[in-house]
Each structure stands twice: as structure tokens, then as C-alpha cells.
Amino acid sequence: MKALSVALLLALLASVHKTERSFENQKEKNVSKQEALNESQLLTMQDTFSSQGEDLARRKKNEERGHQLYKMSNKILKHSKSKKDKEEAYQLLTKAADMGHLKAMEKLAAALLFGYHGPQNITAAVTLYETLAEKGSHRGQTALGFMFSYGIGMEYNQAKALVYYTFGSLGGNLISQMILGYRYWVGINVPRNCEAALTNYRKVAFFIADKLEKNEEMPVEKVRLMEKSENLSSNNDFLDWDVHQFYKFLAERGDTQIQKAFYYFLKAAKAGNTHGMAFLGKMFLEGSVAVTQSNASAFKYFTMAAEKGNAVGLWGLGLLYYQGKGVPVNYTEAFKYFHIAAEKGLADAQFQLGVMYHSGSGVRKDYKLAFKYFYLASQNGQPIAVYYLAQMYAAGTGVFRSCPNAVELYRNVCELGSWSEKFLTAYFAYQDGNIDSSLIQYALLAEMGYEVAQSNSAYILESEQVKILSNDQMYPLALLLWNRAAAQGNAFARVKTGDYHFYGYGTKRDYVTAAIHYSLAVDHHIAQAMFNLAYMYEHGLGIPKDIHLAKRWYDLAAQTSPDASIPVFLARMKLEVKRLFSEIQLFKFTSSWKMSKLDTMLQPHWDLFALVVIVILLVLLIRNR
């Protein structure tokens, strides 16, 4: 650990030194330029200068051309959905990247790594990212950190990963900052340090909260792969449809959807629907491609809705008075409307009350009340309220300062970042059979601390369909990820971690550790964990043999899940038969050697034998009924 921090420090020093040196270089250049100008009679000097100038001009022209190509490809990618256009855009991007355009290189590298527009090519991505990192691109540094961390296209090396993440984070990369926040929070390759986690998460959360306030971010549904495939028939189709619609909505954000919504609300409002009126008010207030912003129309529709007691309408009026849009600023009026809407349970209004108490606008500054309203709003799912709560916990205003609480809340805000759109692209890649592409996307999110992504990555890894990692890498990585998901409270992941230790997947077989994980999972009422624990008690694996406890856990497993009742029935029968046998075996000492011979003969087929006995018993039972 010490060696690592020394290495980090050295690396940091080196980077500082480098920037200093490049600064000096520039100064030298400026001076030599001056000299060259002064001593223009010296032909040699003149020569070098003019050739430098030509070089500069050519480079500049190249850069401009690269920039144009990049812009063109971006435009196509944004507006066109046909495959042919996309290919063309991709070619333009490649050309721009070849010309050394930094953003084009970053975009191309991401496309190659994640497999966005064409086939994945990790080797090519690594080459590009290495060039980028050398040029000081924080995206390049972050990507290299990510690849070192998983051993994708690189050797598995956590120390190097940490160094690159640190560079990326210093360069202002939000993903690196989030990764470092998570690492400090749970103590991955660094000592646990709440304050360091707080610092990193706060930077990211600040950015996200700002975007949320401007309505630029949109939360994304996170599909859990494991549950889906276990839930084979139950309304899967509906879920697929739902996500698909949502994806389309995202893809077409700001296009036809808003137009449709506008006419829908207009129709509803005309029919006297208060929700329709309130949302029309909102649309006029925000303005979009479909509706031009209008304070007067917003006021009109909000008033109509508010008169009928609609909470959104009341909130809207409050907002107009608060911001002085179309009406003079009047905090008294704003407070009145927010208060009525908040009483009706509207999270946005509760949030606004919190803001008023927090800043002391129109009311006496009161952090306790501000805290109360932010808390209420956050409970009702207002994400910016969560951010304010985190700020209050971090600073200790209105509440006792608590670093862990602040970090947990900041994390919630950070997880709303636009990168969570990868949950959708990863899911669709998985559905289309692009397993590697799906894994890489989930793996990045897992690195950033998303529990669902950790479970999904582990799930994909253990399916053994991944080609970008060698077989001996997969199980240790899957175990690592299950373990992280388990630590975040996923009980299924906890059972998985137990299984890996039980069977020795990706680690040494270790019954003691397996038993510990199962015991932790039974607290969450997982039948599978109870069953496994019972089995371990029955056989004395990792824990002292205890037939009574075994029976109890078998019974609890059966009670917890109806699915478990058949295996439990079989296991209990086996237990009974075995007890019978152990009683019979007592006779072994007295006379029959044949019996002991029978026992050794049966030993390898013990389960089979027990099953046969059970079946016979069952048949007898049914016959005698």
C-alpha cells in the first residue's frame, strides 16, 4: 500500500513537472521567436522560422478539416437512423481521427471499445487511447484505467488503473471521479476514506444537479439480467416493450414525441382535464421545439389548473411568482402557492419550500425547516432535493454533519448521470447477442459503483460467452463483482459469492467462507441460502455438523419458498434414510461385515440410492391411501 502511494505521488510529481516543462518550452519558443525577428538578417534563422510557419499553417488547415469532418459525422449520427448513413458517419469520424482531431479520436476509440457503431476492436481502441492519454486526454486516461482494472486488452494491474483514474480525475473526468469516489467509499485498492469519497462524489453530483435543474438529464431504467432470465414467462414481453418505448423516447428526445404530447395535453385540457392544463403550463414555461416559450400562456394554464385545485398548477403559479416570469417577483405569493401544493404531497413544491427556507427568500432563513422539506421531497423522488440534502449533511447545516450520509446521498445523485444510458445500450446489445459489447458497458458502470451493473457483469461473465477475456480470468472477475454487489445489499449476489467459495470457482474451495456468506444471505430470507446452509450443517462442511439445525433450515427453506419444497422434501427424506442407516450401522460392530461392505458399495451412489428408496416409499404411500 505504501509503495503504491509513493508511486502515485511520484506519478503526480512527474505530471506537474511535465506541465511546468512544457510551459518553459513555450517561453523559450517565444524568446527564440523574438530573437529570430530581431535578427532577421540571419538567413539560417529565417529559414527555420519560415518552414516552421509553413508547418504551422498546414497543421492548422489539417485541424480545421478534421474538425469539419467530425462535426459532419456528429450531425449525421444525431439525425439519421439508417444503417448506411451511420456507416458513412463512422467513416468520416475515422478520417477525422486519422487527421489527429482529438474529439474524433475519443469518439472513435469509445466506439471501438464499446462496439457502438460497428464491430468491437479492443486492440485498435487500446492504441487510440494510449495516444490520447499521452496527449493528456482525460477520457483516454480514464479508459486506460478501466482496461487495466479488468485486464481487458491490457494486463490486469490495479496499481496502474489507480494511477490513470487519478490522472483522469485531476483532468476533470466525471467517470474517473465517480470511480475514485466508489473506491474510497468501499476501500478498493485504497484505504477506506469517507472524506476522499465525499470530495470525489461531490464534484460529480454538482455537475449532475446543475443538469437536472436545467432539465437536461433523464433517469434511465436499469434492467436486471439475472431476474429476467429466472422469470422466464412472467410479463417479460411487457417489460421489453416498456424499455423499448423508453429507448425510442430517448433517441427521439425533443422530436416528434413532444409535439404529440402537446396535442394530447391540449385535447385533454379542452375537455376540462386539470393534469392536461397543468402540463400545458409546464410546456409553455419550458418552451421546446413544439411550443415557443410564453410566460403569459404558462400563467393562463397554471391558473386554470390551480383554480381546480391541481397541485402542479399551484406549483407552477408559485414558480412564476418566485422567478418573476410574466408577473412581478412576489415571494409571499410564491410561498403561498408552494405551501398549498406541498400539502398536497407534490415533491417539486416541497423542494421549492426547502429552497426558500434554505436561502431565506421571503421567509426567515431556517435550515431545520429547509432540511425537513428537502427530506420530504427526496422521499417523493425529487432528485435535486437529494442533492441539497447531501449538501446539508456534508456541511452540517440544519443537521449533524455526517460524511457517510452525505456520500450515500451524493451517490444517488451521481447515478442519474447521462452515462446511465449505457444501461439501455448494454441491454440491447445483450439482447442482440453482442455479449462482449454488453459486458464492457456493464463493466464500466460496475466500476462506477452501480450495483445492478455489477450483478449483470458477473452474470454475463459466468455464462462463459465472453470472448474478450480468457477463461481463467472470468471466474475470479465474476466472483469479485458478485462480492461487490453483495456488499451493496444484493442477497442473490451474496448466495452466488457463497456458491463460488463452495464449489471453488475463481478461488480456492473454502467451506468456512461459503458458510459465512450463506449465513449472511439467510437474513434476507433467501430459500436457496437456507437450503445450502442446511446441507452444510447436514454434512458438517465449514461448520460443525448439526442434524437438528440442518432440519430446521431445510424446513425454513420450504416455508420461505414453495419452489424449495420438493428439493427440501428429498433432502429431508435423505436425512431420515441416512439416520436409519447410521442406526443400522451400529449392528456392524456386532456381527455382519456384509453390511459394512454394502455401505462402501453404496457410498458413491448414495444420492441415487436414497432417491430409489424415496420413490419406493412414495409409491407405497400413494397405494396405501
Ligand X SMILES: *[C@@H]1O[C@H](CO)[C@@H](O)[C@H](O)[C@H]1NC(C)=O
Residues of this chain that interact with ligand X (CB under 6 A) are: 26-27, 30, 34-35, 38, 121, 123-124, 227, 230-231, 234-235, 293-295, 324-326, 328, 330, 332-333
Q: Shortest distance, CB of residue 287 to ligand X, whole angstroms?
A: 8
Report CA-CA distances (Å) from 603 to 440, 584, 600, 608: 46, 15, 5, 10
| Of residues 273 and 361, the one with the C-beta less far from ligand X | 361
Q: Alpha-carbon distance 171 to 471, whole Å?
A: 35
Residue number, 123 or 592, with CB nearest to ligand X:
123
| E strand or H helix at 411 | helix 403-414
CA angle 132, 137, 142 (to 5 degrees): 90
Residues 549 and 358: their CA atoms lie apart, in Å, by 56
Report d(CA 525, CA 7) in Å as an integer.
45
Q: What is the 3-state secondary structure (H, E, C) of 253-304?
A: CCCHHHHHHHHHHHHHHHCCCHHHHHHHHHHHHHCCCCCCCCHHHHHHHHHH
Q: Any idea which residue has 430470507 for its cell?
A: 525
Looking at the Cβ atoms of 126 and 424, the one nearer to ligand X is: 126
Looking at the Cβ atoms of 222 and 325, the one nearer to ligand X is 325
Position 466, amino acid:
V
Chain centroid, CA 498 distance in Å:
24
> Shortest distance, CB of residue 334 to ligand X, whole angstroms?
9
With H, G, I as helix, E, B as strand and everything else as coil, classify residue 450: coil
Shortest Cβ 153–ligand X spacing (Å): 11
Distances in Å between the alpha carbon of 547 and those of 526, 528, 537?
20, 18, 6
Shortest distance in whole angstroms from residue 38 CB to ligand X: 4
CB of 482 to ligand X, least distance (A): 16
Residue 330 CB, nearest distance to ligand X (Å)? Answer: 4
Q: Quick one: 23 or 503, whose CB is closer to ligand X?
A: 23
Output 24 or 195, the one with its CB closest to ligand X.
24
Q: Which is nearer to ligand X, 158 or 431 (CB)?
A: 431
Sequence-distant (6+) residues with CB within 8 A of 332 are: 362
Q: Where are the alpha helices (DSSP H) in 99-230?
A: 102-114, 122-134, 138-150, 158-170, 174-186, 194-213, 225-230
> What value, to the nearest 5°, has the Cα angle with vertex 50 and ends 45 and 52?
95
Q: Which is nearer to ligand X, 14 or 232 (CB)?
A: 232
CA distance 28 to 21: 10
CB 337 to ligand X: min, Å: 11
Residue written as cell 499553417?
57
For ligand X, which is the closer residue by CB, 294 or 405?
Answer: 294
Cβ closer to ligand X: 409 or 468? 468
Shortest distance in whole angstroms from residue 335 CB to ligand X: 10
Cell 457483469 locates to: 457
Amino acid at 162: L
Rounded to the nearest whole angstrom, what is the least distance from the CB of residue 440 to ligand X in the complex?
15
How far apart (Å, rounded) are the C-alpha atoms in residues 97 and 582? Answer: 75
Distance in Å, CB of 122 to ligand X, minimum: 8
